[in-house]
Amino acid sequence: MNIRKTLIIIASAIILLLFGFVSSVSYNMGMSYGADNAESIRASKAKAEETHEQLVKSVLVAKITNSQIKNEINSSGRVVSLNNITISSEVQGRLIGVNAFKKGTEIKKGEVIFSVKNTDLKHLIDAKKSRFMSLVSSNLADIKLDYNTEYAKWERFFNAINIDKSLPDFPEMSSTKEKNYIVSRSILAEYLSVKSDEEKLSKYTVFAPFDGIITKSYSDVGGNVNPGSPVVDFIRKGKMEIELTVNTSEIQFINVGDKVSFSENGNTYNGKVIRKGNFVNPSTQNISVFTSININENSLFNGMYLNATITTNGTDDVCKLPRRAIFEENKVFTVNNDNKLKITEVNIIAYQGDDVIVDNLSDNTLIVSEPLVNISEGTIVKPISN
């Protein structure tokens, strides 16, 4: 047992001596290395400190400068003709003519769109005119005898009557006695009866109220129509308007006369706001704005869709922010003087594409112009100018 204890003591002493020797050598070598490599050690520590600084998040910021900004409201709409009407027949009969009522047929203002056969009525009117001429003729002698001073005008009136033309204007009666005579002889009553039939006859031929195009036909030559029967749909050629829709929050910035620019397949057109709706579409909750458009009549067609930008009057003391900086509908991060993040609510008054316009931020405020994820108010950041 004594030999075993002795061996353990000797071994422990040897280990302690070796540990002391190694420690001494390591210390001397470390001191020597530190003296020889002091600069590289300092550089390494500086790099470590820089790495620590990089743990502070860098964020893109923009400095607020309030000014006047013209609101640009984007929308889209369909081109429609300024006039789009359905022309119906006011009389009964058979459609006549040499041209069929086909879609796309262009008709100039004043040209015949369609006619209804009027032979029976025309003969009836001619017969009534003949009887009226006989009535006036039979009274000319009495007029000359009793109203000699008025005879010349009645003679001119009688000579102006033509079976193939509308009756001339009725002579103006200059005295009560003359008026009683004309009325008692039923001359005025017969005149008005013929004029009424002539007015009815004019409805048998329908003329184009403006230069236009037939877009739909409900009948054709040879077909029978009744009073109120639609015959064709007719649109004005060249003059167009566009119905745009905007949010209810944007309608307050739009005024009649504001300029509008349109685009379609690389082509651009100009126009202006001509009227605003005062009602909300129940399905979209938007309001309609109607605009004119200056076009070459061969470049746009009824029914086409165009993108539009309405440029309104400028709004003072506002600024523009990127939409991506907004979170929770109306909040942004701002950076205070201590480089700490702060949540600020903004008052959005309009949207412009990828931007919003707000009116409650002070000049020189630093706002974070990029979205931040997993970061909270009060966090220290390193602002970088955008």
- Report whether 71 contacts 312 (CB < 8 A): yes
Distances (CA, A) of 138 to 131, 142, 192: 11, 8, 18
Going residue by residue through the chain (386 aa), what tens digit of pLDDT does each one get? 567 667 677 767 777 777 666 666 565 555 555 445 555 655 555 444 444 444 778 899 999 999 888 878 888 898 888 888 999 999 999 998 766 678 888 889 999 989 999 999 999 999 999 999 999 999 999 888 888 888 999 999 999 999 889 999 999 988 899 999 999 999 999 999 999 999 999 999 999 999 888 988 888 888 888 999 899 999 988 788 999 988 887 888 888 888 999 988 888 888 999 998 888 888 888 898 999 887 765 577 888 889 999 988 778 888 999 999 999 889 999 999 889 999 999 998 887 778 888 989 999 999 999 998 888 888 999 999 87
Q: Outline where DSSP puts E strands in 48-207.
A: 57-63, 67-81, 84-88, 93-96, 106-107, 112-116, 205-207
- Nearest partner of 217 among 205, 204, 231, judged by Cα: 231
The secondary structure of 187-256 as a DSSP string is HHHHHHHHHHHHHHHHTTEEE-SSSEEEEEES--TT-EE-TT-EEEEEEESS-EEEEEEEETTTGGG--T
Q: Please give the pLDDT value at position 122.
A: 92
**Percent of the chain as helix, strand, coil, to the nearest 5:** 30, 35, 30
Pairing, β 381-385 against β 57-63? parallel
- Report whether 58 contacts 382 (CB < 8 A): yes
Distance CA 61, CA 334 (A): 8
pTM of the model: 0.60
Task: Count CA atoms closer than 13 A to 325's CA, side-chain side.
Answer: 25
Q: Please give the pLDDT value at position 342.
A: 92
